Amino acid sequence: MEHHLSVPGLYLASIVVSSAGVLLLAHRFLPGTVSVRLVRPIVAVLVVFLAFDWLGASRGWFASSLDWVVASFAPGIPPEEPLLLAFLALFSVVLFEGFRRRPAADVRATPTATGDAGLNGGRDA
């Protein structure tokens, strides 16, 4: 007897919880990142990738397991798909902003910048 795991809604809950976590972290550590400006990149991602998903699902390239999704709409795209794509766009923007805003490294603190220790450990050849 084969045990078959069916957990519809878990995938959706994971996407929602992950999105909430990214939004909270961005709000806390990257003020101003989460704003109306995010609508444009999220909509662009949704349009392009949902069109690709629709093409792939209609040709049989993609399939979603009905055991993990809440529903499936013709040609086989689950309602979680646009939410996942929006999450990925949001996460990408937040990650990009996080790297862009990170403080610059203090060059004076590195041993090679002061000449104290180069490749030979500070010893002259």
CA distance 90 to 88: 5
Cα-flanking dihedrals φ and ψ of residue 73, to 5°?
-105, 145
Assigned domain for 39 exists: yes
Assigned domain for 107 exists: no
The answer to whether the predicted template modeling score (pTM) of the entire model surpasses 0.75 is no
Assigned domain for 110 exists: no
Predicted pLDDT of residue 55: 93
Predicted pLDDT of residue 121: 56
- The residue-averaged pLDDT of 40-47 equals 92
CA distance 101 to 79: 34
- The residue-averaged pLDDT of 113-117 equals 53
14 Cβ contact list (under 8 Å, min separation 6): none
For residue 26 the two structure tokens come to 């961005």
Assigned domain for 108 exists: no
Number of domains in the chain: 1
Assigned domain for 2 exists: no
Asked if the model's pLDDT at residue 63 lies above 70, the reply is: yes
- The residue-averaged pLDDT of 86-103 equals 92
Compute the residue count for the chain: 125
Asked if the model's pLDDT at residue 51 lies above 60, the reply is: yes
Assigned domain for 47 exists: yes
> pLDDT band for position 104 (50/70/90)?
confident
Q: Over pLDDT 70: what percentage of the chain?
A: 80
Assigned domain for 94 exists: yes
Q: Which domain range does residue 83 map to?
A: 10-100
Assigned domain for 35 exists: yes
The total of other beta-carbon atoms located within 10 Å of residue 79's CB is 12
CB 84 within 8 A of CB 12: no
